[in-house]
């Protein structure tokens, strides 16, 4: 569960085997927390 402005720690190795792609995915996730939190999903379901 995530709350607004809460720090989340994600191991980038779990996002992609390629370090550049993993970093890009991590940055995209971070940006969605601030710019489009309504579009975040967990297991293909929207987060509340």
Residues 6+ apart with CB under 8 A from 28: none
Predicted pLDDT of residue 13 = 82
Binning pLDDT at 50, 70 and 90, where does residue 41 land?
A: low
- Taking the C-alpha atoms of residue 12 and residue 20, their distance in angstroms, rounded to an integer, is 10
pLDDT digits (tens, 9 = 90+) for 9-33: 778 888 899 999 999 988 888 888 7
Q: Is the pLDDT of residue 47 over 60?
A: no
Predicted pLDDT of residue 20 = 93
- Mean pLDDT on 36-41: 72
Place of tokens 């970093």: 23
């Amino acid at each position: 569960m995530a709350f607004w402005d809460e720090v989340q720690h994600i191991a980038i190795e779990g996002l992609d085997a390629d370090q550049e792609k993993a970093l890009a995915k991590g940055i995209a996730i971070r940006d969605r927390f601030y710019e489009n939190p309504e579009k975040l999903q967990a297991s293909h379901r929207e987060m509340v």
